[in-house]
Structure 1
Amino acid sequence: MSRLLAMLGTSAARHPWRTLAAWLVVLAAAVAAAVTLGGAMHNVYELPGARSQAGIDLLEQRFPAYGGTSARVVVHDREGDPVPAAELTRLRKELLTVDHVTEVSAPQPSDDGDTAILTVQYDEPVTDLVEPVTALEDATAATERAGFQVELGGEVPEDISVPNGTAEAIGVTAALVILLLAFGSIVAAGLPLLVAAFGLGIGLAGVSLMAAFTDVSTTTPTAATMVGIGLGIDYALFIATRFREELRAGRSVVAAAGRANATAGQSVVFAGFTVLLSICGLAFVGIPYFATMGFACAMVVAITVVAAVSLLPAFLGLAGHRVLGKKERAALAAGEVVPAAVKQPWTARWARRVGRNPLPWGLAALLFLVALAAPLLAMRTWPNDAGSEPESNTVRRAYDLVAAEYGEGANGPLTVLVDLDKVAANELPSLQARLSDTSGVDMVTGPLFSPDRDAALFTVVPDTGPQDELSAELVHRLRDDVLPSGGEVVGLVASQTDIADRIEERLWVIIGLVVATALVLLLVVFRSPVVALKAAVMNLLSIGAAYGVLVAIFQWGWGVSLFGIPHAVPVSSWVPILMFALLFGLSMDYEVFLLSRIRERFLATGDGRGSVVDGLAATGRVITSAALIMVAVFVGFALDTNLVIKMLGLGMAVAVAVDATIVRLILVPATMAILGRANWWLPNWLDRLLPHVAPHGVDDEEDGDSTGSTPPRKRVPVG
């Protein structure tokens, strides 16, 4: 692969305009295809095999009017007077004129009459509706002008989330500043951003095309953007840094691009492949929402890797020596060879300090990570709802009005659906009585019969709100103890209960698959069971620390207001498994770049501790810059309005920051110093079985040719 990448880099740098033109054609074609053939994003939370899904399918068959989406219109008199019946009748007529509205319920007044709820039923999914919130606002405008407070709730207004681009702008701006500081050249700083833009543009066009053939959630493009920006900039940064080193050493622009692609480019390919495998693990969750998100993010990652090893060399060929600072360019123009600035004194000094006393440093770092991860033991996951939104949002104000006037449970009513082909109609009164007597039930209404009178449904209002653990317990109680065969529970809380249960069940499967795959890849690349196992454990510690911080901030409410959340909320069910799949792959990037340098020095010198010092010194600046960029991008997304993206951004920023500091600067040198030559122990029988793969291409300290070939080398015996 090293030779192939060298040829690719050399060709792109020698013919930059041809390469750039080809990428522009691909980008234009991808965008044109997305505009003409792309589909709309759909939040379809189907759960194959779940009881709530079986109930939803039966509901759509027997009650066609309930087959689409719904919304709630909450009308409130600020003075506390009863809302006039004439006003509610007029509003109901207005709502019935809205496109795709099939039914509007009779107004449901509160006990004191100053609030009323009208439920609006549609015949289409929410993402098939054109500006549905605007249509509702137009229909309720006259009621607002009459002096009443009108708030919108339910699936339609809660599902509409339009990114404003703030998160992306913050991340890109921060990345540019960091790149300028790292490179000292605006040309060099701009190249990674250009590469990331190409990769992300084509990747997002692909996501749009994917949406034409399958259901893709509305948060998927944002998640893919978050990963694409971070990885695109990082991968380009690694290759561009190596290109600058080769120029300083006196190589020509074309030769430097080829060698950078053969070395750092090969690390990028391996790291990207690890990320791909990790993200694709989401397909094993058993929820289509996750599978499509994983495939979409994987597609963006794959295109980003291809852009880094093919488009970036073309940009480097065009930029030439302008990627260096003025003093370096002047020195090269005078015929001098600028020494490659790979020795970073602070990282070398730090590694030596840790290496002299590895045990106390290692224990201190381990205890710190365990302390950060400790709140993980109290983590409660639950899908977020309108109660988690800021008070400036109409869905949150509607939620609060309903809770105050009708009780918390009215925000998450359960629908009990009874198949009358399996349950006799004369059993319904006794069933209603049992439902009313069930612990945790506040009120039962119904039954409502289907048009063919082959099904009936009851509305069950719990005592507790949708996010309360007791509401989930009520769902299980109804299913296990109250309902006969042929009865199902559907509704928001029932679906959320099944989602939480499914994710909790599959999380350990995903963790096992991803960790096992990563162990095999690391073993093949670094030819050391100890190094592979140690890297996997350290990644788990970083992710655990990020989970702990999420629990402390969001679930315990420690500083939650800083992120625009008015009160403590459970960790979203989607977040832990998404974070794990994304972070385990991303963390491997830094492991690959650091450990490859350490291994190269060890094979050259046989010095266990010295190789760690040299490896940290060689990679300190570039990995620190890459980590800062990742953290900046993820923190920007932590300011997104969507709670899932907000939690993902913060959790991933914490994990990368921990990985780049506590793990890389303390745990890695401490553990490798303690283990010494045992780090690279490999049984002879396993050595014969494993293929030989160089994760960083040619040896940085040897004079391989510009094609990236590696001279023969002698393996240092490690026992």
Structure 2
Amino acid sequence: MSRFLHRLGRGAALHPWRTLAAWVLASAIVFGIAGSFGGTPVDNWDVPGAPAQKGVDTLRAHVPGAGNASAQVVVHGEDGQQPSTAQLDRLTAALLAMDHAVTVTPPRMSDDGDTAMLVVGYDEPVTHPDLMENLEPLEDAVAGTRDAGFQVEFGGELPGTAAAPMEGYGELIGVVAALLILLLAFGSVIGAGLPVGVALIGLVVGSAGLTILAGTMDVSTAAPMVASMVGLGVGIDYALLLVTRHVEFLRRGLDVPEAAGRAVATAGRSVVFASATVLVSLMGLRLAGLSTYSSFGFATAIAVVTVAAAALTLVPVFARFAGHRLLPRRVRKGRESTKAPLTARWAQRVAGRPLPWAIGAALLMIVIALPALGMRTWPQDASSQSTETTTRRAFDLVSDEFGPGANGPLTVVLDREKTTPEEAAQVAADLEARDDIVAVTPPVESPDKAILVFDAEPAFGPSDERTARLVDEVRRQLPDGAQLTGTTAMFSDIAEMLAERLWLVIAFVVLTSVLVLAMVFRSVLVPLKAAVMNLLSIGAAYGVLVAVFQWGWGVELLGLDHAMPVSSWVPILIFAILFGLSMDYEVFLLSRVRESWLDTGDAHASVIRGLSDTGRVISSAAAIMVAVFLGFATEVDVVVKMLGLGMATAIFLDATVVRMVLVPATMALLGKWNWWVPAWLDRVLPTIDVEAELVELEAAATTDDDTDTDETEPGLAPAGR
């Protein structure tokens, strides 16, 4: 692999225009395929295996329009103003005039008469391209009502797809922050701009790949956001690692093409296997059992592959164009400081007294993670959104005027062959007699007389912690052949399914990552220790999410006004992504530690050397990643906020407490045992020579002529010290 990567990097630097032409050609092909056969992201909200899904399927089979999109229109008069019958009739007519609208329910009036709720039914599912994320027809239909002085808000599933659009601030904030951080780290404008530019190129090509993916399967509309978030972060990290190593070789006096070749041969191997660990983690999302997660995994994998490919091939190209201008000005003028870098002094301090540092860092991570033991999850609903959104304002109006349960009624479906109308009425009466049910509608027979359907309104809102228990108890209370469905029941099923599947995803990701690291580093303790420390980072991220969102600590700083459960979608997604990203830093650090260990055989000194060599790049890369993720935390959607804050927290703690303290401290304590592997296991494990040893590659090819295309393959020689 080293020989191939050396040829790749050196060849790209020797022939930059050919490499750029190859990228332009490949990009044109990818965009051409995307334009011809690609699709657009579309959500599939069916949840195979969920009990509530069976009820949805039954309704679709027997009730025309069941399962199609709906929208809630809430009209509220200020200061006691009441909408008249004529005004509501005009509103109903305007709503029915919308494309795809087929039904509007009679207005449900509040007890004081100042609020009306109407529900629009459509002839297509909410994922239809004419409906998804499109509030304009509703806005036009209610314009007259608003002009009359009434407050009109939208709730339900269709408005929920458009109420909190992505503003794109996350990418912008991340790019600007990355440039500033890199400028401080490199002391060179060109050195700062190169990693960001390469990452953006890879991300653009990856977007075309995502379009192709959307032409072959359902890709969630949120998948591009997650792919951009991760792709931008790791793309900058990978390019930064390569640029840092390239600059290191330039300082040794190598010419630009050879420095580029050796950078790709050494740091490039870390990029290859770091990205492989990310891909392994992302594939674990398929075990979540929902198509949404599969699309997240595939879309993000495409972004990771394209940014990694861009880093390995375009960094040498732009490094050739930049020449020695990548070096800081003080170095180019011969004023480089001889003082030991801060990371070297820090490494010596930690390795000098490893036991107290290890205990202190471990205790800190455990304390931060403790709130995760009380995590309560619930899928996102309108109650968790910012009051800036119309869906949240509609939710609050309905809760205040009609009761909190009106936002999430339970739907009961009874098989007509097993249940008579009289028995259905008794089932409804029994439910209404419950203290936690405040109202039940009369059972209605389907047009084909195959089923009976009625709704039951709980005494509390959908995200209340009592909801899951209510759903379980009602299901046990229903007779054979009855099904409980509706949005609230579906959310309860999703929360339970994902809580169970989380452990399956964790087991798969941890075991496969440990296996990969064992093959890479020929060690038993290193991969096991890496897995434990990554779990600590993710556990700490979960703890912060619970403290901020569930306990409400500082939630106002994120533009929210109350505490809420952690979204059920977040824990699995955060785990799969963060475990891979944490392994990135593990590979970067351990590669240099192992390099020194193989060179010197001094386990203690190799820890100091490895941390000293990688501390700055890991800190810079992590700072960039944190800035990118915090940028996404500024978006309106609460799930995006959770993802952004959770991943920023984990990366920050991973790059500071774990990589800069816990890893070197434990490695200093273990000494040579870090690299112990039983002989039988060493024989069984496939051999992957991935340690980023600083090999001195013999440059057999000439470097003074761009026209030489038949280069002799360079040999490998031991690293000189």
Does 1:454 find its partner at 2:456? no
Which residue is equivalent to 1:117? 117
Equivalences for residues 85-484 of structure 1 within 5 A: 85-128=85-128, 129-130=130-131, 132-160=134-162, 161-329=164-332, 345-481=341-477, 483-484=478-479
**Counterpart secondary structure, 2:153:** strand
Partner of residue 700 from structure 1, selected from 690, 694, 703: 694
SS, match of residue 270 in structure 2: helix
Distance 2:358 2:695 in 1: 30
Question: Partner amino acid for 1:146?
Answer: A
Distance 1:284 1:344, change over 3 A: farther
Q: Is the 8 A contact 2:245 2:267 kept in 1?
A: yes
Post-superposition offset of 1:342: 11
Q: Aligned letter for 2:136?
A: T
1:696 deviates by: 4.2
- Contact between 2:199 and 2:232, CA under 8 Å: does it hold in 1? yes
CA distance in 2, matches of 1:666, 1:488: 54
Once residues 610 and 282 of structure 2 are traced to their aligned partners in structure 1, the CA distance between those partners, rounded to angstroms, is 28
Alpha-carbon deviation of 1:62? 1.0
Q: Is the 8 A contact 1:178 1:625 kept in 2?
A: yes
Tell me the SS of whatever aligns to 1:443. Answer: strand
CA distance in 1 between partners of 2:433 and 2:394 (Å) = 29
Asked whether the 8 Å contact 1:635–1:650 carries over to 2, the reply is yes
Q: Give, in whole Å, the separation in 1 of the partners of 2:473 and 2:672.
A: 58
Which residue type is aligned with residue 25 of structure 2? V
Offset, 1:693: 2.7
User: Does the alignment pair 1:496 with 2:491?
Assistant: yes
CA distance, structure 2, for counterparts of residue 85 and residue 575 of structure 1:
44
Q: Per-residue deviation at 1:439?
A: 4.1
- How far did residue 400 of structure 1 move? 0.6
Instruction: Answer with 682-691 or 454-463: which moved more.
Output: 682-691
Which one-letter code corresponds to 1:587 in the other structure? S
1:140–1:154 Cα change, 3 Å: same
Structure 1: how far apart are the matches of 2:680 and 2:698?
Answer: 30
The CA distance in 2 between the partners of 1:27 and 1:344, in whole Å, is: 44
- Cα deviation for residue 318 of structure 1 reads 2.3
**Per-residue deviation, 1:121:** 0.6
Task: Give the Cα separation in 2 of the matches to 1:524 and 1:558.
Answer: 43
Cα offset, 1:688, TM superposition: 2.9
Say whether the 8 Å CA contact 2:615–2:660 is kept in structure 1: no
User: C-alpha offsets along residues 401-430 of structure 1, whole Å, 9 cap, x if unaligned?
Assistant: 100011111111111122224433442222
**Closer/same/farther in 2, CA of residues 269 and 344 from structure 1, 3 Å limit:** farther
Structure 1 vs Structure 2 CA RMSD: 2.0
Q: What's the counterpart of residue 558 of structure 2?
A: 563
* TM-score, structure 1 as length reference: 0.95
Cα deviation, residue 690, structure 1: 3.0
When residues 432 and 268 of structure 1 are mapped into structure 2, their CA distance, relative to the original with a 3 A threshold, is same
SS at match of 1:453: coil
- Tell me the CA shift for residue 86 of structure 1: 1.5
The offset of 1:173, in angstroms, is 0.3
Identity %: 53
Given that 1:65 and 1:103 are in contact with CA atoms closer than 8 Å, whether structure 2 keeps it comes out as no
Secondary structure at 1:469's aligned position in 2?
A: coil
Partner of 2:710: none
Confirm or deny: 8 A CA contact 1:280 1:295 kept in the other structure.
Answer: yes
User: How far apart, CA to CA, are the structure 2 residues paired with 1:709 and 1:241?
Assistant: 23
1:287 maps to amino acid: L
Compared with structure 1, are the counterparts of its residues 704 and 532 closer, same or farther at alpha carbon in structure 2 (3 Å cutoff)? farther
AA of the residue aligned to 1:693: I
Amino acid at match of 1:556: W
Alpha-carbon offset, residue 36 of structure 1: 5.2
1:309/1:401 CA distance change after superposition, 3 Å: same
Do the aligned partners of 1:101 and 1:121 also contact (CA within 8 Å) in 2? yes
Are the structure 2 counterparts of residues 521 and 44 from structure 1 closer, same or farther at C-alpha, using a change threshold of 3 Å?
A: same
**Structure 1 residues 57-76: Cα deviation after superposition (integer angstroms, max 9, x where no partner):** 11111112223110000011
Once the two structures are TM-superposed, the CA of residue 123 in structure 1 deviates from its matched residue by 1.3
Instruction: Look up the SS of the partner of 1:120 in the other structure.
Output: strand
Over residues 502-561 of structure 1, what are the superposed CA-to-partner deviations in whole Å (9 max), with x where a residue is unaligned? Answer: 111111111111111111111111111111111111111111111101100111000001
**Range moving further from structure 2, 39-48 or 229-238:** 39-48
Secondary structure of the residue aligned to 2:367 is helix
Q: What residue number does 1:711 align with?
A: 717
Query: Which residue number corresponds to residue 654 of structure 1?
Result: 649
State the one-letter code of the partner of 1:354.
V
Superposed displacement of residue 390, structure 1: 1.4
| Cα drift, residue 654 of structure 1 | 0.8
Shift of 1:104: 0.4
Name the SS of the counterpart of 1:383 in structure 2.
coil
Write the letter of the residue equivalent to 1:493: T
Q: Deviations over 1:622-663 (max 9, x none)?
A: 111111111111111111112111111111111111111111
Contact 1:67–1:123 (8 Å) recurs in 2? no
Looking at structure 2, the residues matched to 549 and 118 of structure 1 have their Cα atoms a distance apart, in angstroms, of 40
Q: CA deviation at 1:7?
A: 1.2
What amino acid does structure 2 have at the position aligned with 1:85? Answer: T
Unpaired runs of 5+ residues, structure 2, are: 701-712
1:66 touches 1:123 (CA, 8 Å); kept in 2? Answer: no
How far 1:35 sits from its partner (Å)? 4.7
* Counterpart for residue 335 of structure 1: none
SS for the counterpart of 1:457 is strand
Aligned counterparts of 1:103 and 1:466: Cα–Cα separation in 2? 25
Unaligned runs of 5+ in 1: 332-337, 715-719
Cross-structure match for 2:587 = 592
Indicate conservation of the 8 Å contact 1:423/1:485, yes or no. no
Q: Is the 8 A contact 2:369 2:542 kept in 1?
A: yes
Shift of 1:371: 0.7
Contact 1:246-1:256 within 8 A present in 2 as well: yes
1:120 and 1:342 map into 2 onto residues whose CA distance is 73
**Deviation at residue 671 of structure 1 after TM alignment:** 1.1
Q: Deviations over 1:89-131 (max 9, x none)?
A: 1111111111001110000111111111000011112232256
Q: Indicate the larger mover: 554-563 or 657-666.
A: 657-666
Which range moves more in the overlay, 639-648 or 204-213?
204-213
* Residue equivalent to 2:15: 15
1:617 to 612, 619, 629: 612
Q: 3-state DSSP class of the match of 1:42?
A: coil
Q: Distance in 2 between matches of 1:177 and 1:694?
A: 36
Structure 1 distance, partners of 2:696, 2:196, is 31
Q: Is the 8 A contact 2:546 2:566 kept in 1?
A: yes
Task: Give yes or no for contact 1:342–1:619 (8 Å, CA) kept in 2.
Answer: no
- SS class of match (1:641): coil
- Distance verdict in 2 for CA 1:694–1:704, change over 3 Å: farther
- In 2, Cα distance between the equivalents of 1:401 and 1:471? 20
Q: Deviations over 1:254-287 (max 9, x none)?
A: 1111111111001100000000000110001111
Task: After TM superposition, give the deviation of residue 174 of structure 1 in Å.
Answer: 0.1
The code of the aligned residue for 2:717 comes to P
Cα distance in 2 between the residues matched to 1:227 and 1:626: 13
- 1:581-612 Cα offsets, whole Å, 9 max, x none, are 00000001111111111111122222221111
In 2, are the aligned partners of 1:71 and 1:120 still within 8 Å (CA)?
Answer: yes
CA apart distance, 1:373:
0.3
Q: How big is the shift at 1:713?
A: 9.2
Equivalent-residue separation in structure 2 for 1:465 and 1:126 (angstroms) = 23
